[in-house]
Amino acid sequence: MKSVLVMTDSTCDLPRDWIARYDIRVVPTYVHFGLESLADDGVQLTRSEFYRRLSTVTELPKTSAPPPGQVLEVMRQALADAEHVIALTAPAKLSGIFNTFRLAAEQSAPERVTLIDSGTLSMGLGWLVMMAAERVQAGVAPATIADEVRAAVPRADVWAALDTFEYVRRSGRVGWAAAMVGELFHIKPIIRLYDGVVSSVTRTRTSQRAFDTLIELAHSAAPLERLAVMHSYYPQGGQRLAAALSDIVPTAETPVVDATPVIGVHVGPNALGVAVLRQA
């Protein structure tokens, strides 16, 4: 039996080989096209199929936390394989995922589960998960890992340049976006996710200005411990952004990831983002 395992949800956007390397247990969230519910696990719903369908539907798909029974099943298996589980989730302010994990912990072995609200999504969450997994591999005690990760949460930041306000407005998850119906046309918004809150940083008129603003924001966060680039089915944009940020890349590997469809529902296609973990 292992001493500790790390558990999270699929909004973390971690590359598959990293998940396998550290034996991270990931519970998929769900995308609902009408009455059809699909696990956001890269199998039931691939990125290409999701964006193909997104472009054809008149009603935006819905997203949801994983069913409580599924979280409980993954957590119980993790507890069978390890003495302790450290679980990090998407923000409780934005999703029911954290509460679903909390209920699963209460129904299994709460004294053996440490639950942490990451306050962030995508590779912001992913970097915190990786931090925990690396400390597990180094043999650090669960309580110490939890303290270190919680201390790192304020250092995690995510910015995204959206191709349109339309998806975040229609998702209904962000109140200020829903109120901006008359200001949406020809706008390339920059949003920030920090401490579980999605805020508007600025609004640009062109894709190039949005791109340049992301670069400025990433530079303003340096020096960095970790850096990731995200995109929503826009690989050429992701690679271009990664190249533009090469001067502030930390020593750790810098992934370019295609954001999970659950995030894609809310940001739409052709979005770009950066997730950083500032140096302590």
Give the strand order in the sheet containing 30-33.
36-39, 30-33, 62-64
| Pair 118, 198 in one domain | no
- How much is the pLDDT for 174? 55
| Structure token pair of residue 21 | 């390397």
Does residue 266 carry a pLDDT above 60? yes
| Pair 74, 143 in one domain | yes
| Pair 120, 168 in one domain | no
Q: How many domains does the chain have?
A: 2
Tell me, yes or no, whether 93 lies in a domain: yes
Confidence of residue 173 (pLDDT cuts 50, 70, 90): low
**pLDDT for 48-86, tens place per residue?**
999 999 999 989 999 999 999 999 999 999 999 999 999
| Pair 128, 254 in one domain | no
| Pair 182, 208 in one domain | yes
Q: Which residues contact 111 (CB under 8 A, 6 or more apart)?
A: none
Tell me, yes or no, whether 57 lies in a domain: no
Tell me, yes or no, whether 38 lies in a domain: no
Total residue count of the chain as it appears in this document: 280
| Pair 148, 162 in one domain | no
Tell me, yes or no, whether 180 lies in a domain: yes
Cα–Cα nearest to 28, from 258, 269, 268, 262: 262
Tell me, yes or no, whether 54 lies in a domain: no
Domain stops at, among 153, 171, 202: 153
Count of beta carbons in the 10 Å neighbourhood of residue 41: 16
Residues pairing with 85 in the sheet: 5, 113
Tell me, yes or no, whether 271 lies in a domain: yes
Measured CA to CA, the distance from residue 149 to residue 129 in angstroms comes to 8
- How much is the pLDDT for 185? 57
- How much is the pLDDT for 182? 44
| Pair 146, 214 in one domain | no
> What helix, strand, coil percent values describe the chain, rounded to 5?
45, 25, 30
| Structure token pair of residue 13 | 């956007």
- Domain hosting 268: range is 155-278
- How much is the pLDDT for 165? 80
Tell me, yes or no, whether 170 lies in a domain: yes
Confidence of residue 179 (pLDDT cuts 50, 70, 90): very low
Measured CA to CA, the distance from residue 104 to residue 68 in angstroms comes to 7
Domain stops at, among 134, 153, 172: 153
| Pair 246, 258 in one domain | yes
Measured CA to CA, the distance from residue 13 to residue 125 in angstroms comes to 8
Mean pLDDT of 170-192: 64
CATH number at residue 95: 3.40.50.10170
Measured CA to CA, the distance from residue 113 to residue 198 in angstroms comes to 28
| Pair 271, 137 in one domain | no
| Structure token pair of residue 238 | 């992701």
Determine contact, residues 85/75, Cβ cutoff 8 Å: yes
| Pair 127, 22 in one domain | yes
| Pair 134, 17 in one domain | yes
Does residue 177 carry a pLDDT above 90? no
Cis amide leading into 68 (omega within 30): no
| Pair 173, 120 in one domain | no
CATH number at residue 173: 3.30.1180.10
| Structure token pair of residue 244 | 């533009």
**pLDDT for 6-18, tens place per residue?**
999 999 999 999 9
Does residue 178 carry a pLDDT above 60? no
